[in-house]
Structures are given as C-alpha cells and as structure tokens.
Chains A and B, each alone.
Chain A
Amino acid sequence: MTTRLVEGSEVVADAMVRAGCRFFAGYPMTPFTEVLEHMATALPPVGGVCVNAESELEAVGMVWGAAAAGTRAATGSTGQGLSLMQESIAEASLAGIGFVVLNMARGQGDYFQATRGGGHGDYRTPVLAPSGPVEVAELMAEAFELADRWRNPVVVVGDYYMAHTWVDIETPGEVPEPPPAPEWSLDGHSGGSGAAKLVSPLGTAKRRDGVGYDLAAHYEGCAQRRREMTAGITPRAELVETDDAEVVLVAYGTMARYADAAVSALRSEGHRVGLVRPITLWPFPEAQVKAAADGSAGVVAVYENNAGQMIDDVRLSLLGSSPVVGLNSFATDSSAFGIAPDVTVENLTASVRELLSEFGQDAT
C-alpha cells in the first residue's frame, strides 16, 4: 500500500466504487461537482458507467432505473439539486428500490432535507453522517448494504469541508467485485414466465397476471417494511468524555470535529465537557443522547451550522429531561458554500465556557 494525498471528493468516489457502485449520475454543483468528476474517471475502468445528466431530475431517474435492474447505483447533489430529486427518492422508497444519495450540503441547513426529505408518502430514508474523509470509506460500504437490505434510498451527508479537505490516505488494494443482482431485480422482460416482472411505486406485478396492482396490500407492505427498517437499523453515535460531563455537546459531520477539539482543549484545563456525535442521523441515536445527558449534564448544547434543526431531534431524545440550547449563530463567507469563518475551536471553547459558568460547577 502507498500513501497518497487525496481530495475528500475522491475519497468519497473511491469508497463508492469499492462498495460496489457501478452506475453514477449527477449534475455539477459545488460541493458535489468533484465527486461527479472523480466518478467519471473511476467507473469506466471497472466496467461501470457515469453520466453527467441534463439535470438532477434525469440523474436520479437514471439511478432509479439502474438500481431497479440490480446494479448498485448512486447519485447526489447539494441542497437545490436534491430538492429536485425528492419526488423520485420518495417513489423509489415506495417501489422498494435502493440506491445511495450523496447530500453534499452547503453548511448544515439541509439537515431536515436529509433526515425528513421533501417527498410524498409514508417513507423515511436512513441517513449516515461521516465526520470527514477518513470515515467516509467505512460508512459508504454500510450505506450500500442498507440500501440493498431494506430496498430503500440511503442518504450520506457530506459538505464543502469534506469535499475540499485533502488527506493522506493509504491506497487500498484491488477493487472488489460488486455483489450479484438481487433476485427481485428486473432483467429487461415484463411478461412471460419465470422471474419477469414490473417494479413500480404502485407495487410489484406480472403483466400477464392481468389483475393489476393491489394498492391496499402494497401500501400495507411499504408500512411494514418501514417499521422493520426502523427497528432493524441500530442508531450509532460516538461518545467522547460524556460520563461526568456538565456540558454535553451534540454535533454531527464537520461541526463535530470542532466540538471534539474543543472538548480536548477544555478537558485539558479540567472542565467537564463531553460530546455526542450522531453517526446515523436517521434513525437518530436517541438512547445515546439520553444516556449522555442523564449522567451529570447541566445542559445539552447542540452545535450545528444552521438556525436550529438537529436540535429538534435532540429535544425529542430528551423529552424535557435536560435543558437544551443551540450554539448556532454563524456568519457565512461570501462563497455561500457553507463556510463559516467564525466556526473555530476557539469560538466554540468560549461559548462552552459561558455555559459552564451558567450551568456547571467550578472546574475541578
């Protein structure tokens, strides 16, 4: 193995290819653009296909088709492009078609878009939030496994920081073969005998059966599948120094890296501060947040680069058992790419000191 200096976007692309992704479609938009460029380079040598689509609408449509044919597939964009894709993400969930959607956000204003979605119907999508390029490699394989297992779109959240951070990373060995197409997938025939069938948001049927779709049974099946998926995915979080923490920070993605560094700095001065970093944003790690807060926390502080979104999930986790405050008023720079110059370890450390003086006891 050799170590290379690699852009975060390339780490994301490599992780998808290694996870078996063989079809990718998208439309350029910062900070998603470089992922699309790297996929265009990485897929053809392994027999895959990458398409720069006319727009995000076509991109997700192509991915829906590829996934229905049994190919591991993915798309992505940033907020606006993902808004366009919401209808198809919802329909794919109802059709039982799984693929991966990269939500390369500008800041964290698209937390609700990622965790709730804007599509129709009684659907949810699992959401994974790596803290940076290093964790992407691990979580991407899991994202495709979840998409296959639950036949449901899965969202992986990144941002400009992750896309544009170059890291020294060991180049992994040979790219493994993708898994075979699942039994339910389409093979180009919609009639006849055997496995030939239709897959649609209205259900799965054989055209020759001539009885049409049973919508009642289908939606009941969708609801049952969603219940099983909700129960079947273990919520994950990383807990840093939460045992005796008087201030428990909650942060995901890039913001968690600032929070982690702030916890180190404050702990080295004797302050009792901890961090819960949700890794799955849906299902949300409610038990972990509750356990961390029930230790000795005077206050739970949600550090997010938006006007307050994940704080709702934190409040739902605690059901009023601890005070919850938001640390989330940041100016953004002129790029509008979600870079907030005042998001620094120093500023966060100062904010936590204020909380300690209000909610905590003197430093030990």
Chain B
Amino acid sequence: MFLIRRTVYHSLVEREILFTGIGGQGVQLAARTLAEAAMADGRRVQLFASYGGMMRGGNSDSFLVIADRAITLPPVVGTAWAAVVMHHEHAADVWAKLRPDSIAIINDSVVEPNSRPNNSAVEVVEVPALDIASEVGSPLAASLVLVGALVARTDLVSADALLDGAAKVLPSYRSEAAAVNREALAAGLKIGETTHPAWELSVA
C-alpha cells in the first residue's frame, strides 16, 4: 500500500521549551504542569521526558513543544525558544540550543554563575527559586516558581490555566501538595512583566 503525503507549508508557530535539572528537582512535574495548562488553553502539546535510572542526582530533561496546530517536530528539538534551568550539571546542551531571540529562566539558588547561555542575546531571568518556594511553604516547589516566571515573561499560557495545572499533574497520593504548588506558580507569575510574548506572531 502506498500512502502518499505532500508536505504542508503553513505559518505554524511552535514554541519549544527545554527543561533541565537533576532527578528530584521537580523538572518533569514543572514541564507537565505547563503542558496541562497549554492544553487547557486549547493548544496542542508534545512533551518528551528523558531521565536516568535514579530518582535523585541523575539527569532529568524535558522537551516541551506547544503549538497552534498538530505538532510537526520530533521529540528532541535542535533549537529552542525558551529554557527552564534548575541545575547546571546537564545544562550545556540546553545553552547550545537556545536561539538568539530566546529566554532562559534560571534557578539562581543552585545554578552556578558561570553556567549561562552561549549567546549574549538570550534574555536571562535569574530567579531565587528556592528562597521564593520556601517562603510560600515548600522548597520542593522551586521548579514551579520558574514556570510561573516563564509565563509572567511570555504569556505562554493563561494564568488561570497554569494555576489549575498544579492539581492536575499530581497523583492521588501526592494531592496534598497541590495547594503549595499553586502558591509557587502564583509567586512565579509575579516576577516581572511580559518581555517575550509567545503568540503575537501567531497566524490562525
């Protein structure tokens, strides 16, 4: 059987967000929270999770794509529009993939000062995520502070959808963390004004 398909050219906007950290920092939770929020806004999502065999200490990376239409990109993207960086250990690949017009949200509580994007044109937002998360009730929610900050700068998803995402991604045996996770997202949303609007070039 021959299934013949033509390439469809259109002005698709695909936003690639890279997440990196080490196991236990909440990298996967942060990526899934953002993905759920994008879906609630009616956008399409694809999320590839790559992590080593241990809960703590190994690499933990996520490749999230949010788009207006069905996603065409493969699981691992070669360049990216944004990064959420919880730890410097495995960040080199992320720095290398950021395009000049991209934005990097950095966990300033942990990431070493010499670990920064290769390209000076990338907007860098340094967030004392551990301090902020501790203030709202749990240092474990630091990754969600960063996600809140990303949304504050980009309007990538609506604030309501993001806050509601906190409860959606937790398994039933972790549901007690939903309230503090929501607070962490809310605290992140207060970090700065929109500098990198995600969808202003979007063509329906």
Q: Which residues of A contact B (CB under 8 A)?
A: 3, 5, 30, 132, 160-161, 164-168, 234-242, 254, 257-258, 260-261, 263-264, 267-268, 279, 288, 291, 333-335, 337, 339, 341, 343-347
Contact = CB atoms under 8 A, between A and B. Distances in A.
Contacts of B53: 30, 335
Given A3-B39, A236-B3, A241-B6, A166 B72 contact: no
A335 B73 CA distance: 23
B52 interface: yes
Contacts of B52: 334-335
Contacts of A291: 2
A240 B1 contact: no
A236 to B, nearest CB: 5
8 contacts: A5-B47, A165-B75, A235-B1, A239-B5, A260-B72, A268-B7, A288-B2, A335-B50
B191 interface: no
B2 A161 contact: no
A344 B76 contact: yes
A30 B46 CA distance: 21
B38 to A, nearest CB: 9
Count chain A CB atoms within 10 A of each CB in B7, B44, B47 and give the residue with the most.
B7
Contacts of B73: 261, 345
Count chain B CB atoms within 10 A of each CB in A30, A168, A260, A264 and give the residue with the most.
A168
B173 interface: no
Contact of B46 (A165, A235, A260, A263): A165
Contacts of A257: 74-75
B45 interface: yes
A contact face: mostly helix, strand, loop, or mixed: mixed
B203 interface: no
A166 B74 contact: no
A240 B5 contact: yes
Contacts of A264: 7, 9, 72
Interface in B47-89: 47-53, 59, 72-79
Given A5-B45, A166-B47, A335-B50, A237 B75 contact: no
Nearest to B53: A30
B47 A339 contact: no
Contact of A254 (B1, B44, B74): B74
B48 A165 contact: yes
A297 B47 CA distance: 35
A344 B6 contact: no
Pairs A-B, 5 closest by C-beta atoms: A344-B78, A257-B74, A166-B47, A346-B78, A238-B3
A161 B61 CA distance: 13
Interface in B108-141: none
Contacts of A238: 3-5
Contact of B32 (A5, A132, A346): A5
B101 interface: no
A239 B74 contact: no
Given A5-B39, A165-B47, A261-B72, 16 more contacts: A3-B39, A5-B35, A132-B75, A164-B50, A165-B48, A167-B45, A168-B39, A237-B2, A240-B5, A241-B7, A288-B2, A335-B53, A335-B59, A337-B50, A345-B74, A346-B78
A260 to B, nearest CB: 8
B93 interface: yes
Nearest to A163: B49
B172 to A, nearest CB: 13
B113 to A, nearest CB: 25
Contacts of A165: 46-49, 75
Count chain A CB atoms within 10 A of each CB in B4, B39, B73 and give the residue with the most.
B4
B76 to A, nearest CB: 7
A345 B78 contact: yes
Contact of A347 (B5, B77, B78): B78
B155 interface: no
B183 interface: no
B78 A240 contact: no
Contacts of A346: 78-79
Contact of A234 (B1, B35, B76): B1
A346 B45 CA distance: 21
Interface string B1-32: 11111110100000000000000000000001
A237 B6 contact: no
Nearest to A161: B75
Contacts of B93: 341
B114 to A, nearest CB: 22
A345 B28 CA distance: 24
Contacts of B4: 238-239, 242
B7 A167 contact: no
B46 A239 contact: no
Contact of B3 (A168, A239, A268, A333): A239
A240 B46 contact: no
Given A165-B75, A167-B46, A5 B36 contact: yes
Contacts of B59: 334-335
A339 B45 contact: no
B39 A164 contact: no
Contact of B35 (A166, A241, A344, A347): A166
